[in-house]
Amino acid sequence: MNILDLLTTLGRWGQEHPQTVLVGCGVVPLVAGLTGLVRRYRQEASDVLGSARWATPREIRDAKLMALHGVVVGRGERQVLCDDSERHILLCAPTGAGKGRGVIIPTLLTWGESGVLPTNLLDMADAVPTRMLVEQMSHRTLSADLPPESTHTV
C-alpha cells in the first residue's frame, strides 16, 4: 500500500463516518490545547524577558549598599542606599524624570570626595533649591561656560 492508496482509503472512511470526523475535528485541538496548558503549568518560570524584582534586605547588605556616603542608588525601608564602591555608574533617563533631584543632589550631599559634573546645576528646573544646597555644602563649586557648538573641524 502506497501513500495514494492510504489517502483514498482514509477519504472513503471519512465519507462513511462523517460524525466521527466532526468529533475528531473538535477533540484533537481540544486535547492538544489542554496538553499545552498542562506542560506550561508544570515548567519553571522563564527569565528570557528578564526577572526584575525588589531586592531583599540580605541582597542589599551583600551588595554593600548600606554605606553612609557614595552615589545614591535608592531608598530602603529606613535609610538611603548608597553605593560607595569603585564602579562606574551610568544614569540614563528622559528629561524631567528626576535625575538631578533624585540622584545627583542627594549624592552631592553625601559625597565626601571630589568630583566633576558635566552639567550646570544652577540652570536646572529646580534652581532655587539647588543654589541653596550648593551654598550649604562645604565643597568649592566652579562653573564653566562652554560654547554650545564646537567651531573646530577635524
Report the chain (154 residues): mean pLDDT per 10 consecutive residues: 86 87 86 91 78 87 86 84 85 84 80 65 54 62 61 54
In this structure, the answer to whether residues 93 and 127 fall within a common structural domain is yes
> What is the pLDDT, as a whole number, of residue 118?
60
> Which of these, 101, 147, 102, lies nearest to 124 by C-alpha position?
101
> What is the pLDDT, as a whole number, of residue 84?
85
Look at the chain and report how many structural domains it folds into: 2
> What is the pLDDT, as a whole number, of residue 33?
93
- 75 three-state secondary structure: strand
In this structure, the answer to whether residues 67 and 24 fall within a common structural domain is no
Read off the amino acid at residue 17: H
DSSP 21-34: HHHHHHHHHHHHHH
Q: Which three cell numbers stand for residue 120?
A: 550646570
> What is the pLDDT, as a whole number, of residue 40?
85
> What is the pLDDT, as a whole number, of residue 134?
61
| 36 located within any domain | yes
Polymer length of the chain: 154
Provide the β-strand partners of residue 75: 80
In this structure, the answer to whether residues 72 and 95 fall within a common structural domain is yes
- 73 three-state secondary structure: strand
> What is the pLDDT, as a whole number, of residue 50?
78
> What is the pLDDT, as a whole number, of residue 42?
84
In this structure, the answer to whether residues 66 and 123 fall within a common structural domain is yes
> What is the pLDDT, as a whole number, of residue 51?
78
In this structure, the answer to whether residues 74 and 119 fall within a common structural domain is yes
Contacts of residue 151, Cβ cutoff 8 Å, sequence gap at least 6 = none
In this structure, the answer to whether residues 32 and 61 fall within a common structural domain is no
d(CA 95, CA 104): 14
| 7 located within any domain | yes
Domain hosting 20: range is 3-42
> What is the pLDDT, as a whole number, of residue 89?
81
